[in-house]
């Protein structure tokens, strides 16, 4: 059902939080959706600019499992403005289940600096209440970056995936991160045995200019008995400032000692 290359092309575009502050631009998404008898999805989104500067050239992208669609030319969003989106979308082959719709809004500052924010909305499609409870759960252990550490641009994030059911599951997990943070893998697929927990790792990279925490959203989905189940987990990549002198001091001493030893040996031979 899932094709890795297709996923990478889709989800590499959709990495980032539901509120973004870009200078004096503060944008928030309100998202909702429902399914009619034909399995068409009615989507409503309100994109509010609560700042005092215009958000230019806003676009909206939607995705769910292996489906994605982009809507350009939403226009500029002035201070205290609201952009409204109402669309009914038909997705061929939409299966019953608990789905997770994710919306991403992209916009620019006046100087051309781009930003992205996201919001998600879970919704059922033609399933009973007994089928709504997933057997899979996620837990993120986001990294903590030391702003003073020279070698900490990339760190690993651990994802704990728990299967409480009696059947093996093969979930696909997609990652969405704030501005300035990226995941080494936009998505991963793994296998979880019955009544077991597995751990996966993903490399998180932080831009050097970023000195604030970053929100991380993980959305996982899997199919069982013809029903799609989607679950999510959220976390925050942290930042701190700790002295690194004592951590590296022994290494520096060893390097200096080796250098001095080599210098003495060379001079004696000369």
Summarize pLDDT for 126-161 with one digit per residue, the tens. Answer: 888 777 889 999 999 998 888 776 666 788 999 999
How high does pLDDT run on average in the chain? Answer: 85
Confidence at 256, pLDDT banded by 50, 70, 90: confident
CA separation for the pair 263, 268 (Å, rounded) = 9
Higher-confidence position of 23 and 82? 82
Share of the chain above pLDDT 70, in %: 85
In the predicted model, is pLDDT for residue 2 greater than 60? no
Q: What SS3 class is residue 251?
A: helix
Q: What's the pLDDT score for residue 244?
A: 62
Q: Which residues are paired to 109 by β-bridges?
A: none
CB 118 within 8 A of CB 176: yes
- Per-residue pLDDT, averaged over 175-193, amounts to 91
CA separation for the pair 252, 261 (Å, rounded) = 14
Q: What's the pLDDT score for residue 164?
A: 96
Last residue of a domain, one of 111, 133, 155: 133
Element (H, E) at 74: strand 67-77
Q: Which letter does DSSP use for residue 21 in this model?
A: E
Listing DSSP states for 95-149 in one string gives PSEEEEEEEEEEEE-TTS-EEEEEEEEEEEES--GGG---SEEEEEE--EEETT-
Tokens of 228: 């799609």
Which one, of 20, 135, 16, 14, lies nearest residue 64 by Cα?
A: 14
- Per-residue pLDDT, averaged over 230-253, amounts to 76
Q: Are residues 8 and 128 in the same domain?
A: yes
CB 248 within 8 A of CB 152: no
CA separation for the pair 209, 147 (Å, rounded) = 10
Q: What's the pLDDT score for residue 16?
A: 44
Q: Are residues 4 and 103 in the same domain?
A: yes
In the predicted model, is pLDDT for residue 4 greater than 60? no
Q: Are residues 150 and 126 in the same domain?
A: no
pLDDT digit string (tens) for 32-47? 999 998 889 999 999 9
Backbone φ, ψ for residue 245 (5° rounding): -60, -50
- Per-residue pLDDT, averaged over 240-264, amounts to 73
| Domain of 75, in residue numbers | 1-133
Which range (128-132, 218-222, 246-250) has the least confidence? 246-250
Higher-confidence position of 19 and 86? 86
In the predicted model, is pLDDT for residue 17 greater than 80? no
Q: Are residues 75 and 192 in the same domain?
A: no
CB 34 within 8 A of CB 11: no
How many domains are contained in the chain? 2
Query: Domain with 145 in it: what CATH number?
Result: 2.60.40.10
The two most distant CA atoms of the chain are separated, in Å, by 90
CA separation for the pair 231, 2 (Å, rounded) = 17
In the predicted model, is pLDDT for residue 250 greater than 80? no
Last residue of a domain, one of 108, 133, 158: 133
* pTM for the whole structure: 0.78
- Per-residue pLDDT, averaged over 19-30, amounts to 72
């Amino acid at each position: 059902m899932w094709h890795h290359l297709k996923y990478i092309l889709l989800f590499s575009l959709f990495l980032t939080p539901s509120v973004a502050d870009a200078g004096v631009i503060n944008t928030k998404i309100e998202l909702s959706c429902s399914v009619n008898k034909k399995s068409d999805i009615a989507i409503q989104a309100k994109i509010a600019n609560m700042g005092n500067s215009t958000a230019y050239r806003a676009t909206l992208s939607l995705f769910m499992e292996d489906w994605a669609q982009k809507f350009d030319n939403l226009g500029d969003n002035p201070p205290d403005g609201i952009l409204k989106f109402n669309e009914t979308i038909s997705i061929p082959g939409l299966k019953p289940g608990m789905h997770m719709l994710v919306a991403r809004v992209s916009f620019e500052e006046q100087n051309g600096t781009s930003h992205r924010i996201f919001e998600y909305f879970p919704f059922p499609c033609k399933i009973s209440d007994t089928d709504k409870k997933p057997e899979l759960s996620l837990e993120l252990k986001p990294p903590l970056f030391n702003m003073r550490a020279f070698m900490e641009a990339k760190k690993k994030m651990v994802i704990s995936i728990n299967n409480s059911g009696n059947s093996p599951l093969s979930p696909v997990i997609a990652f969405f991160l704030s501005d300035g943070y990226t995941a080494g893998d936009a998505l991963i697929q793994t296998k979880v045995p019955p009544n077991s927990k597995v751990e996966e790792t993903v490399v998180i990279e932080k831009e050097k200019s970023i000195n604030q925490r970053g929100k991380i959203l993980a959305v996982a989905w899997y199919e069982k008995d013809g029903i799609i189940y989607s679950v999510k987990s959220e976390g925050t990549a942290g930042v701190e400032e700790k002295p690194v002198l004592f951590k590296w001091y022994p290494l520096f001493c060893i390097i200096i000692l080796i250098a001095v030893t080599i210098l003495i040996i060379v001079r004696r031979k000369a």
